[in-house]
Structure 1
Amino acid sequence: MNLNSNNKTILIAPLNWGLGHATRCIPIIKALQENNFIPIIASDGIALALLRKEFPYIQTLELPSYQIEYAKNGKNFKWKLLKNLPKMMEAIWEEKRLVKKWVKKYAIEGIISDNRLGVFSPKVPSVFITHQLNVMTGNTTWITSILHQKIIKKYTECWVPDVENAINLTGKLGHLKTNTLNLKYIGPLSRLHKKEVPQKYDLMVILSGPEPQRGILEEMLKREVLRFNGKVVFIKGIVEKEQKKEEIENITYYNFMNTRQLEQTFNESEIVLSRSGYTTIMDLAVLQKKAFFIPTPGQYEQEYLAKKLKNSNLVPFAEQDNFRIEALAEIKNYQGLPIVNTDFDWTDLLKVFDDK
């Protein structure tokens, strides 16, 4: 416990790109509270909605949306993002303006930005969280990586949610051959914990990510799971005001689950079918669950991670258009994700916000 925090107010701001950035900030928010800091949460869209449900008693602020959308055709993914770049830059400039105002208005004494490029202040210690020191964008990876590293360099510290050694989860995404960044490898971040409970489901399907690709995968998997021989729990990844549950034959559908429910359901499930998003990978590593991945079409990072883990004989994957439910039989031929150590010293890590 950090007894030197003097109840300092820390702004924590995850990117709204699916739910992964928001969910991996949950253990950080809890660590801030346990170390006598006062967190203020800032985000937008479903990321903010989820964190409001998790922490209804914590003050929240709304940031402008980056308006991230996926293309219907994965081949157009990069060009869709480039088309939205002017709107994204406008949002970044606006969040810079807001953060400058909020630092003064709310007496903020520290900032934690999970991939929000405009959440930074030169007046207080500012931390950037990312597992993407290299940003995969196909033949433009070199320039997007240089630009991202230039942004990271202005922050007091950069926290990488992975381990530094050779056996790691991110590969070249989160590791540089040489660098001048102030990096700290903090280990995988997960809001979930492994528990020994009776098995309830043979398969857990969990979806996430921006539209329209989340919805496209949902419709395809709804058809495929009808041919699965066993009990299925299907979490759509749609954060709404009320939780909805529907049972159709051997399948139980939920629109979303809170952390406690999700942790229980993961532990009750034998295998998991999901995107190969990095937050999901961290959760599965912590829970020691075997899985099958369907990377988002055209999403270079997810495709890289899926291929890396398959080539390491850890987790199989299939492209979205080629997936059939019978492919889940491949899981037994793979080792599963490596056991990771999630015990790290938050008190020491949060010293970045101590008075210099």
Structure 2
Amino acid sequence: MKPNKTILVAPLNWGLGHATRCIPIIKALLESNYNVLIASDGAALSLLREEFPDLPFKELPGYNISYSKKKHLFKAQMLLQSPRILKAAKQERKLVNQWVSEGLVDGIISDNRLGVRSNKVYSAFITHQLEVLSGTTTGISSKLHKQIIKRFDACWVPDHKAKPNLSGRLGHPAKPPKNTTYIGALSRFEKKELPITHDYLILLSGPEPQRTLLEELLLESFADTDKRVLCVLGKTDQPQSRYKHGNIEIVTFMTSKELEAAINSSELVISRSGYTTIMDLAALEKKALFIPTPGQYEQEYLAKKLSAQGLVPYVTQHRFNLQALGKVPLYSGLRLGHETVDLKELFAHF
């Protein structure tokens, strides 16, 4: 009897969103009787190993992306890091080709890892950014990204093709690559009617130092209130621990089941406007306040887009105060507008 094919699933370690949106894909692969090999680095790999302790894994070279403390230096710092990113992509390409040659991999799903592909097996690339916003260099960055996408057999965009959609111009440029397939919004969560146990849920993630800067800002802001606050730090590379900071309950990280329950049982979510977070909150139909990462064009665009549509308000990090929460009831909150594509049909290409 022929053994089941093994699919390599490799998310980028840039925040936790790339890893978490791979969770429903991994589950669908396992349900379709594929074997799964997980590959990543850092916090993303730690998270997936917590979620799937029985699955084999490989460690890939880290892109080691960091943000500037100052918004106006964001683009310059990203440009300075590009040689290191390209070097890591070249190293991971070499590793992946070796695994394919050794018969360890029969198909590839790369979530934004530039070098995780092979000409010998079907390789799919997941991204919601067909247009890469970078200010005055958006045209150049988008063109370069499309050149990378064309090297894959397929580009899977986790969004709805028709309006209303979640990614806007990011995932719906005038001319998407010919290998693009819209696979519907991805979320590891399901909406459940649970008693509200927290007034506010703070979700932290993303590269340093901005993750810590937002943590310090929010903990200080809520320290002297009588609100029930739960703060999830998003530190999957540390042991799980819980402790109190005044009236605030702090957890280093949560598994998917724990976080699903926490969001469903919270009145309002405060978080970055990362795309995976947006998909998760839409699936759970939660109201939120977004604080985009300073200088990150994608998050700033998504926050402004959703605010203009009357769905979720946002506030810039340097202007955050508790009064900003008063805007939330004026917005309708997020919802998924369309049915999700059956992932199992996509797997037939493998």
Aligned to 1:135: 132
Q: 1:270 and 2:278 equivalent?
A: no
In the alignment, structure 1 segments of 5+ residues that lack a partner are none
Summarize the alignment of residues 128-207 of structure 1 with structure 2, pairs less than 5 Å apart: 128-207=125-204
Measure how far apart 1:174 and its partner are. Answer: 0.2
Partner of 2:298, secondary structure, is helix
Task: Determine the C-alpha separation between the residues in 1 that align with 2:96 and 2:206.
Answer: 26
Summarize the alignment of residues 27-42 of structure 1 with structure 2, pairs less than 5 Å apart: 27-42=24-39
Contact 1:6/1:36, CA 8 A, preserved across alignment? no
Partner of 1:61, secondary structure, is strand
Identical aligned residues as a percent:
52
Task: Determine the C-alpha separation between the residues in 1 that align with 2:75 and 2:287.
Answer: 31
Contact 1:228/1:325, CA 8 A, preserved across alignment? no
Contact 2:29/2:344, CA 8 A, preserved across alignment? no
Aligned to 1:317: 314
Of residues 12, 15, 20 in structure 1, which corresponds to 2:12?
Answer: 15
Task: Determine the C-alpha separation between the residues in 1 that align with 2:231 and 2:177.
Answer: 44
Aligned to 1:213: 210
Amino acid at match of 1:234: C
Quote the RMSD (CA, aligned, Å). 1.4
Measure how far apart 1:250 and its partner are. Answer: 2.5
Aligned to 2:252: 255
Amino acid at match of 1:28: I
Aligned to 1:288: 285
Measure how far apart 1:104 and its partner are. Answer: 1.6
| Per-residue deviation, residues 210-263 of structure 1 (Å, max 9, x unmatched) | 000000110111101124442110111111342110123421111110111000
Worse-superposed segment, 57-66 or 331-340: 331-340
Partner of 1:306, secondary structure, is helix
Contact 2:203/2:233, CA 8 A, preserved across alignment? yes
Task: Determine the C-alpha separation between the residues in 1 that align with 2:89 and 2:248.
Answer: 42
Task: Determine the C-alpha separation between the residues in 1 that align with 2:344 and 2:80.
Answer: 42
Partner of 1:108, secondary structure, is coil
Task: Determine the C-alpha separation between the residues in 1 that align with 2:339 and 2:46.
Answer: 27
Q: TM-score when scaled to structure 2?
A: 0.97
Worse-superposed segment, 248-257 or 194-203: 248-257
Contact 2:284/2:335, CA 8 A, preserved across alignment? no
Partner of 1:202, secondary structure, is strand
| Per-residue deviation, residues 167-223 of structure 1 (Å, max 9, x unmatched) | 100000000212342111111111111101111001100000000000011011110
Aligned to 1:48: 45
Of residues 104, 107, 113 in structure 1, which corresponds to 2:104?
Answer: 107
Task: Determine the C-alpha separation between the residues in 2 that align with 1:171 and 1:288.
Answer: 19
Task: Determine the C-alpha separation between the residues in 2 that align with 1:60 and 1:40.
Answer: 6
Provide the aligned length of Structure 1 versus Structure 2: 350
Contact 1:12/1:113, CA 8 A, preserved across alignment? yes
Aligned to 1:328: 325
Partner of 1:142, secondary structure, is helix
Task: Determine the C-alpha separation between the residues in 1 that align with 2:178 and 2:340.
Answer: 24
Task: Determine the C-alpha separation between the residues in 2 that align with 1:229 and 1:312.
Answer: 32
Amino acid at match of 1:257: M
Q: TM-score when scaled to structure 1?
A: 0.96
Task: Determine the C-alpha separation between the residues in 2 that align with 1:238 and 1:219.
Answer: 15
